[in-house]
Chain A
């Protein structure tokens, strides 16, 4: 990129930053909304009021004790393929699952895993053993610190806030520029579409990273989130996720002139992601097709990787597939957005 192009890029970038920072209402909302959400959920789920028991049902056991337990009410059974036993055990460690049941390959012995520091696991174990002698049941234990709901939720909230800020902060704003004639004024200057769009992307990207970092640091100082992995890795996930979402916003805004239509399309994109990408609840118990559908959403990959880093201590290599999807989608969205962009 030549110096002249860089100068144009930085001028538009600077102007957009000024516009955002002087719009105090919008800026305050960008900080306030995620802080309020984290605060409310932290408070609401701070007690031990959750009384639902969760059992990982690995490889569909047929042991009589397991089947009898399966008839118990108020216990949620999550089907887990046999090859995903390790993942289920990790969840027992974090108190996200209270008991894991798996039958040995020969079919005779029922194995179960509990976390000794989880009282719900203890109760489920009592229930299991009350209906069957211990001869054909094998106990195994794991240990690990409890993951509070808010520890689990923070990745989703950060991701959701980033999604709204990216899609509406770029998509909606560009449509507004087109509608009120700002783009028309730029069109008759030497400014190119790529220079204009990249300035919008970078401006929103750093604003999201700053706000997300400040919100996370601020709420972390009070709530002390569970963090197993690297803060730098988490930052990279947010960076790539933001880039992907902003690029998606660019595609939406590439030609539309109506703010109402843009708002409708952006809502159509954000609402399914908000409910199916694992912001509020896990899709572990959901049908397979729904879980597959969720993999199409960028937010799913942001949340999965951020959550894995925070709660499981995953490395960048371990969340590589998620990051690869985010990177690929970013490239596609940016290419399409720039190619089909119209000033008017």
Chain B
């Protein structure tokens, strides 16, 4: 029987982390508790404080106040030996081949992962003899993931791991993360791709202006914040928002919001049956009707009043 995540031990804990820079509080009292084997995502727009937070968890940045605990103890040498990190931008020494970089970093640890397994998991076997500056973006990210795995880490940090990758490379990277999850790794990642967080993360925390403003499982958060259903129609099918509102009081009813873009009209409503019935009664063309579920982008917009990528 599979162990429930709530029964697993807490691996990593952050208590009231604060990070001040001159004239700026980048992180303002963040507390996180991560159980073993989950994939945790920190989401937020640029400047929300997620990279500073993950760097404090990694031990790269010292918090102004607060503490990071690994298995209940202040994170120190043992944590450094038992964690793997893929930075948002990782620089390596020039002129080294992929195999040499792996060997270099592997030898820095007492406990080492099985090299063949790491190579197979990250699919870097075909370019082991290539110098690192001659890799494509996707190949480089796979190699950096391999470097982060050389010590068979308990906790793996991935800071915006797919930023700048094409969709195919991003999907391939997601597959690797899925494989790592199956092996029971605890993963902490930041991303501003909501579909990535939804695909990979068991738990997310949304950050804005240095604070966590929502936290939980992605579906649970969406259900908590969205009871509405969104109908999307071509603008021509309903003659635009104003015409639709004027055609029936159902569309201006409490619990129903109508939005308009250049080509579409969105009807967000709690009364899906009434709205659909009214559209049929008015004999609108519903041949291109789409029903859209709320996304994490919608959630962020609702929570902060700002678009995620602002």
Contacts and interface: CB of A to CB of B under 8 A. Distances in A.
Interface stretch (B100-108, B224-232, B268-276): B100-108
B93 A189 contact: no
Contact of B91 (A7, A185, A189): A185
Contacts of A189: 80, 105, 108-109
Contact of B95 (A18, A180, A190): A18
A110 B77 CA distance: 76
B92 A187 contact: no
A190 B93 contact: no
Contacts of A188: 58-60, 80, 83, 85
Per DSSP, are chain B's interface residues mostly helix, strand or loop, or mixed? Answer: loop
B206 to A, nearest CB: 26
Nearest to B61: A344
Interface stretch (A8-16, A118-126, A136-144, A267-275): A8-16
A12 B107 CA distance: 9
Interface in A15-55: 15-16, 18-19, 22-23
A11 B60 contact: no
A70 interface: no
Given A11-B104, A190-B109, A184 B60 contact: yes
A191 B60 CA distance: 14
A228 B255 CA distance: 100
B91 A11 contact: no
B107 A11 contact: yes
A285 interface: no
Contacts of A344: 60
A182 interface: yes
A320 interface: no
A296 B212 CA distance: 57
A7 B85 contact: no
Contacts of B94: 19, 22-23
A328 interface: no
B173 interface: no
Nearest to A20: B95
Nearest to B85: A188
Nearest to A344: B60
B113 to A, nearest CB: 14
Nearest to B58: A188
Contact of A19 (B81, B90, B95, B105): B95
Contacts of B60: 184, 187-188, 344
Interface string B81-125: 101010101111111100010011101111000000000000000
Contacts of B87: 181, 184-185
Given A18-B96, A19-B96, A184-B60, A190 B108 contact: yes
A8 B95 CA distance: 19
Contacts of B93: 15-16, 19, 177, 182
Contact of A185 (B59, B92, B107): B92
Contacts of B103: 11
Nearest to A179: B91
Contact of B100 (A18, A23, A181, A186): A18
B92 A4 contact: no
A11 to B, nearest CB: 4
A185 B104 CA distance: 12
A16 B89 CA distance: 21
Contacts of B107: 7-8, 10-11
Interface string B25-63: 000000000000000000000000000000000111000
Contacts of B104: 11-12, 14-15
Interface in B208-253: none
B70 to A, nearest CB: 13
A29 B92 CA distance: 23
A154 to B, nearest CB: 32
Contacts of A181: 87, 89-91
Which of A4, A12, A189 has the largest count of B CB atoms less than 10 A from its CB?
A: A189
A4 B110 contact: yes
B263 to A, nearest CB: 44
Given A181-B87, A189-B105, A22 B92 contact: no
Contacts of B59: 188
Interface of B: 58-60, 77, 80-81, 83, 85, 87, 89-96, 100, 103-105, 107-110
30 contacts: A4-B110, A8-B107, A8-B108, A11-B103, A11-B104, A11-B107, A11-B108, A12-B104, A15-B96, A15-B100, A15-B104, A18-B95, A18-B96, A18-B100, A19-B94, A19-B95, A19-B96, A22-B94, A22-B95, A181-B89, A181-B90, A181-B91, A182-B91, A185-B90, A185-B91, A188-B58, A190-B77, A190-B80, A190-B81, A190-B108
**A-B complex: 4 closest residue pairs judged by Cβ atoms:** A22-B95, A181-B91, A11-B107, A180-B91
Given A188-B60, A189-B108, 12 more contacts: A7-B107, A8-B108, A10-B107, A15-B104, A19-B94, A22-B94, A185-B91, A185-B92, A188-B59, A188-B83, A189-B109, A191-B108
